[in-house]
Structure formats: C-alpha cells, structure tokens
Structure 1
C-alpha cells in the first residue's frame, strides 16, 4: 500500500500543478473589455483613408509633362480595346480628348507586303521643341508613351508616316 499511496500522491500533485499552471496562463492572457456605456456613435476608424487620384485631363495651355498622363491614359484605353493595332483609333481618341490633329503623325498599320505591323507609332507635336510619342503592337508588349525632342522640320517620328486625312 505505501507504493500505491505514493503513486496517488504523485498523480494528485501533477493534477494540482496542471491546474495552477493553467490558471496562471489564463490570468496572463489579455481579456476583451466591454464598453461600460456605449455612446451610440459610430466607431471612428484609425485606418488611413485614401483619396482616389484625379482623372488626368487635357491642358491645352499646359506643358508636355502636364499632358503626358492623359496621353498615356488614352493610349492604354485604346490599347485595351479590339482596335489596339489601328493607328486611326489612337489618332481619333487623341483628337476627341482635345489634342491637335494638325500636329500628329502616325505610322502604317501594316507592312509593305501586307502583314500587320509589329508596332505602330503615333505622336503629337507639343510646342516648339517637344513631342508626345506612343508605340504599341506585338513587339512592344504594353503600350509605351514618352516625351521626346522634335526632329528637323517639326517632325516627331523618323521614317515614313501616313497622311491623317480622315
């Protein structure tokens, strides 16, 4: 019997230790607190709020830098449309936004042997020395837009361009 009594005491001591440790851990765990008197007002969030960026817009008296965002937006919109490899679609969209058709250039949509062009370029002359230039097509991946210096005679694109006569 002394051996049984010793085992029973050990078992009781182990159980008591487990209960004490469990109580100690529970006491250390933060407990949720209830608002004793709800105010009835909505909770104020501490999360920062973001204001959506304004839509880019055309600035006829602005700089090339001022107008690059709207030029880019138009190029991206046409680039996401079924007419994404039609130079005319880009020119028409830029004219609709306010850009001057007389200052534009566009390359051909196809090659001299009738294949679709790997890329097409289009541009808008801006002021006396700058151009807004876009390039799209299978070889470029995503549409590309940039500001470049004008070339000789106020041109923006190198090589042959097609007349914008529509």
Structure 2
C-alpha cells in the first residue's frame, strides 16, 4: 500500500511540475521600453551637490565638507601626517588659526597610532581622528572647551 501512495505522490508531483513549466512558458514576455531621448523631466531627482564650506553655517553644516577633506588626505600618501590635514583643511577654507593638532610621533619617537586635529567653529569643534589604530577616518562635531580649545592634552604648534 505504501508503494502505491508513493507512486501516486510522484505522479502528482510530476504533473504539478509539468503544469508549472507550461504555465511559465505561456506567460507574456516583459515589455521592452526603448530608452528615452527626451531631456529628463523636472520631477527627476536632482544630483546632490558636492559638500562645500558654508562660512555662515554651523559646525554640523560643515561636517560633510570637513569629512570630505579629511577623507581626501587619508586616501593619499600622507595618512598619518598632521601637517597634511592642517594644510588641506586650510586650503579648503577652514581657519588655520582655529586649528589644533596632536603630534605625529610618540614621546619616544615612534609614529603615533592615531592623531587628532580640530577646527574651532563658534562654540563647537569639528574634530578628526586618523591613524592605523583607528582604521577609517572618524569625524565629529563636539562642544568646544574653555579658552577656545577643542583638544585636551598635548598639541603641537601650527607655525608653518
């Protein structure tokens, strides 16, 4: 009795598979829509503009541009050279006099595992951190510290 049931189930399953294949073959093909040669409509989603410095904006408004500049340096040959970040940020329009930078070398002369740099922006700070211990660059906006500072600890003079 079991072999008869198994045989019936196999026949039923095969019938369903054949019917499915036939129905799939009978479906209408997807319509092919030729590419349009007309100009895009006004309702098309505009391409976002590249980040730019917003002198009258907030630190948060300027974080995307700060991040873009930092990422550009990180993708270059001077990933852990503080001066490269300061120079790139200054060239992008950030105020060099409002910047702070930690040393590239440890107190025993080894390359730093990470460096931090900042730009004071009003009462807030744009802060970046890069280095082999960090992986990809980190950028944030944090409240400023007293005396127009952004970073705690030893910083180096930006005198070039």
- Tell me which interval the TM-score lies in, with the shorter structure as reference length: 0.7 to 0.9
Aligned alpha-carbon RMSD (Å): 3.0
Verify: 1:92 aligned to 2:87, yes or no.
Answer: yes
TM-score, with normalisation over the residues of structure 2?
0.75
Structure 1 distance, partners of 2:120, 2:30, is: 66
Which residue in 2 is equivalent to 1:150? 144
Shift, 1:122, TM fit: 0.1
Judged with a 3 Å threshold, the aligned counterparts in structure 2 of structure 1 residues 49 and 125 are, in CA distance, closer, same or farther, namely: same
Which residue in 2 is equivalent to 1:105? 100
* Structure 2 gaps, min length 5: 1-17
TM-score, with normalisation over the residues of structure 1?
0.72
Deviation track 1:31-82 (CA, whole Å, cap 9, x = no partner) reads: 45999xxxx99489xxx96543210000111111110000000111111111
- Aligned partner (choices 116, 138, 143) of residue 111 of structure 2: 116
Judged with a 3 Å threshold, the aligned counterparts in structure 2 of structure 1 residues 52 and 162 are, in CA distance, closer, same or farther, namely: same
Shift, 1:156, TM fit: 0.2
Q: What is the aligned length? A: 136
Which residue in 1 is equivalent to 2:69? 74
Verify: 1:60 aligned to 2:48, yes or no.
Answer: no
Which residue in 2 is equivalent to 1:29? 26
* Structure 1 gaps, min length 5: 1-20
Structure 2 distance, partners of 1:148, 1:71, is: 13
